[in-house]
Amino acid sequence: MHEQLPDITARFRIRHGFFRKETVEARLYELNGYGCVMKTDKIFEPGDNVVLDLIMDMPVDEITVEGLSGLVTEKRKHCSNFFYSIDFNRAEIPETLTERLQRVVDVLIKKQTLRSRRNSDQPNNLKQMVRYNTPPAASAS
């Protein structure tokens, strides 16, 4: 499975009885305009409908996409958790939510690109430090 996506959480509510609801936060591992993969210890079955709120942490404010309706299409067990593939019901998503969802996806792509560039540059920087026998703290200046 892929790594979890940076700075984004899915929030959903589970009903426990007639009056009690539990709000649960889950990490996302994939996200696009058509669906997502989330990991949680809560149990769903393929065919279940879920309503998700996506919350992306940003330096100044959060980007939220509230009320995304989705269908659980796949369930995979991983230790004491489950990975769920969820397909969004695009026919029921208002245009404003579609735009926000696309904004979140675009920001995630940029963050992942920056992270992969940073990670690919680190071995080169380390090789240069070893080559010149420079301690890591001294190379920062």
Tell me the whole-structure pTM to 2 decimals: 0.76
From CA 126, how far away is CA 105, in angstroms rounded?
32
Residue 116, Cα to own-chain centre: how many angstroms?
16
Q: Name the CATH superfamily, with its identifier, for domain 8-133.
A: predicted glycosyltransferase like domains (2.40.10.220)
Segment 19-28, tens digit of pLDDT: 888 899 999 9
Q: How confident is the model at residue 53 (pLDDT cuts 50, 70, 90)?
A: very high
From CA 86, how far away is CA 34, in angstroms rounded?
9
Segment 56-100, tens digit of pLDDT: 988 888 899 999 999 999 999 988 899 999 999 988 888 889 999
